Chain A
Amino acid sequence: MLTAFFRWMRLVLPRGDAILLAIALIASFELIGALVLLLNSKVSPVDLQLARTFFLALTAFVYGIYRVNEFHPLAKPDYRRWLETTPWTWRNPLPGGPVLLVPQDVVVLALLMGLNRDFSFQTLYIPVAFLSFYLANLMAINWLLGEWQLAYSTGFGLGLGGLVFRRPDYLLLIDLACYLLTRIAVQRSFRNFPWDDSHQPCAPIEASKLKGDSANHRLGWPYDSLTPAKLRIGFRLHDAICFAVLLGWWHLTLLWGADERVRFLIIALPLIAYVGIPLLRVFPYFYMHRSPIDVWGRIANSWWVIPKFDCVWIAPLSALMLNFLLLGWASWYEWTVRFRYFEVTLPTDWRYAVSISLAPVGTTAVSLALFLIGPKLEHWRLTGQHRIVFQRSQEFTEL
């Protein structure tokens, strides 16, 4: 009976050593928890229960990531290549195990919830953690496979969770609704198997150009840099808009559901984060491409600006300006309007209203600036005024 049960469960369970590691970690947690409870009188059983729920939710999160990355052929290139050589169609079960949820997943989650030993609503955070990350992971994969409408719908659905994140029962309902969308997207994507990489919004050049044994290998200097193949890196217009709006939506729902004490932080923290993020945008541009002339050369020859090289800074600088304008405005706590003879300080509620409206708009605007303002990476690499260099690594040997 037990053997039959384990055989049934093996459909989704990870390798034996991973299961042993999980059991060891959970046992260690319980042991340490019991010792802390025994030795430290300041720690109450309620605290320990909170920590236990968090720890088991973390385990569920890892299981969610595993369920997608271990079972979806897109996440495992070798599995996908092998599957392409077989007569498999979407009507058959996947030989490597199911991507969609099966009763065995319910057993795993029920086991984790049982280990929590708390039969209140709080325990529902465990399946919520599993489902949220499982769905987010599948959302990205479905987007890559061309199911972008359903992928973004899932994203917007998951964002609703921000409004009710103190209510795990509502969160679970939202996740289950999102699962239905994801299920349709997964089934639709598998109907198009074998997948054509050229539909992917962004694919590394090696994967699309080189087949078989040559795939995913680099060819060194100068072939990687002077490749005659078209690069497909960058956002399509609808992706840029949808993704920017999605980020704004997540920001809004987080703000909406947040406690007043942390709401200000949720408005102001992006102000700091968005200083770094725009600057990160230039990294792919500067990968193997440098300024055609050094700083001293620019100064000595009075070439302060090289338009076909320096244009990469336009998007990050625009994003930074928008960031300071909109998010700075939104997070300006002492919001006072001064007239000639008197000044008006807006009521607190108004300030929050303005902040809550402006902050997500700021997030969307900054993202749009980063995604949409040119130059496109491919255009710049092929027509920009730069110097191509080779980034040496352990993979290559110099002649």
Chain B
Amino acid sequence: MIQLQQVTQHYGVRPVLRRIDLTIETGELVAIIGPNGMGKSTLLAVMAGILSPQHGKVIIDGMERKSTVEHELAIRRRTVFLPDKPWLPKNRTGREFLMGVGRLYDIPDDGLIDHVERLLNVFELEKEGDWPIRSYSAGQQKKIALSSALVTRAPIMLLDEPFSGGLDPSGILALKHILKHQVQQERATIVMSTPVPELLEELANRIVVMRQGEVIAYDTPTGLRSLSQCTGPLDEVIARLVHPRTMENLEHYFQERPKC
């Protein structure tokens, strides 16, 4: 379980996150959604321990983040964070990189070798797995980065925009199914951010909607529909919550259009 209590995060003068209270249950896939620059990545980075909030705390499985060395190491062992733009070691092959990450998380070699093989297979990188990462296309790099998060078998995954970055349709399909499996079969807790809501209908248990550094809604897709009083597709529901005047403005625009 991930709990955020009154989290306020500043980089400079103005706060990027304001008094965020959030509880994410174990075995849930929660998506953070909102327009650009509203604090989605910052919220994930706070959960991941990259940032230290000026106020409030982050509690993961009952342990406060950065409270003691033992707690922080225990949290790091059960958490994996994948930023939207990771930096990959360009001279190592994809397979070496995945093995290195797996060993960092103390995954035994016998199971690790098999898991790496299956990940390379599912993301269609069997051949490229033995090439240096510098020779990969953007989409292939995204796949190997996603595989590195999956190879850790961490029960808590924090993924910043996992579906962006040049992932092809087969990669999107594979990732969708793996994430679903992780949540339903392995009881993993997944928090991911995305600027586009199309994929969330079938994936997310709950959705965090952010605007101006604040959580304006946190509910299931059905709950968000009743909150927004909109029965349309999820992107329209989100648009009504984030930009309540957008639809009104659009209606005005079409009504007031001069007839030719």
B104/A386 in contact, CB under 8 A:
no
Alpha-carbon distance between A223 and B105 when the two chains are bound, in angstroms: 10
- Contact pick for B50, options A210, A222, A378, A379, CB 8 Å: A222
Q: How does the 8 Å CB contact mask read for B181-198 relative to A, with 1 for contact and 0 for none?
A: 000000000000000000
| Interchain nearest-CB distance for A289 vs B (Å) | 10
Total A residues in contact with B, Cβ cutoff 8 Å:
44
Q: Which residues on the B side are within 8 Å of A297 (C-beta)?
A: 10-13
Q: Which residues on the B side are within 8 Å of A229 (C-beta)?
A: 104
Q: Which residues on the B side are within 8 Å of A227 (C-beta)?
A: 76, 104
A397/B133 in contact, CB under 8 A:
yes
A383/B66 in contact, CB under 8 A:
yes
| Interchain nearest-CB distance for B135 vs A (Å) | 10
Q: Which residues on the A side are within 8 Å of B54 (C-beta)?
A: 292-293, 301, 303
| Interchain nearest-CB distance for A368 vs B (Å) | 24
Total B residues in contact with A, Cβ cutoff 8 Å:
46
Q: Which residues on the B side are within 8 Å of A217 (C-beta)?
A: 89, 92, 96, 100
- Contact pick for B138, options A210, A395, A396, A399, CB 8 Å: A399
Residue of A nearest to B81 (CB): A222
- Contact pick for A386, options B52, B96, B133, CB 8 Å: B52
Q: Which residues on the A side are within 8 Å of B77 (C-beta)?
A: 228
Q: Does B86 contact A (CB under 8 A)?
A: yes
Residue of A nearest to B105 (CB): A228
| Interchain nearest-CB distance for A177 vs B (Å) | 43
Residue of B nearest to A227 (CB): B104
A387/B51 in contact, CB under 8 A:
yes
A378/B69 in contact, CB under 8 A:
yes
| Interchain nearest-CB distance for A293 vs B (Å) | 5
Within 8 A of A (CB), among B7-29: 10-13
A396/B73 in contact, CB under 8 A:
no
Q: Which residues on the B side are within 8 Å of A344 (C-beta)?
A: none
Chain A, interface SS category: loop
B145/A395 in contact, CB under 8 A:
no
Within 8 A of B (CB), among A211-227: 211, 213-214, 217-223, 225-227
A210/B145 in contact, CB under 8 A:
no
Q: Does B83 contact A (CB under 8 A)?
A: yes
Residue of A nearest to B77 (CB): A228
Q: Which residues on the B side are within 8 Å of A230 (C-beta)?
A: 73
B100/A219 in contact, CB under 8 A:
yes
| Interchain nearest-CB distance for A307 vs B (Å) | 12
Q: How does the 8 Å CB contact mask read for B53-80 relative to A, with 1 for contact and 0 for none?
A: 0100000000000111100110011000
- In addition to A214-B96, A222-B83, 14 A-B residue pairs with Cβ atoms within 8 Å of each other are A219-B89, A221-B86, A226-B48, A228-B76, A297-B11, A297-B13, A301-B13, A379-B69, A383-B69, A386-B52, A390-B87, A395-B90, A397-B89, A399-B85
A-B contact pairs, 23 of them (CB 8 A): A210-B104, A219-B89, A220-B89, A222-B48, A222-B50, A222-B83, A222-B86, A225-B50, A228-B77, A292-B10, A292-B51, A292-B52, A293-B54, A294-B12, A301-B54, A303-B54, A384-B52, A387-B11, A392-B87, A397-B141, A399-B85, A399-B87, A399-B141
Q: Lowest 7 CB-CB distances: which A-B pairs, in order?
A: A228-B76, A397-B90, A221-B87, A396-B87, A385-B52, A228-B77, A382-B72
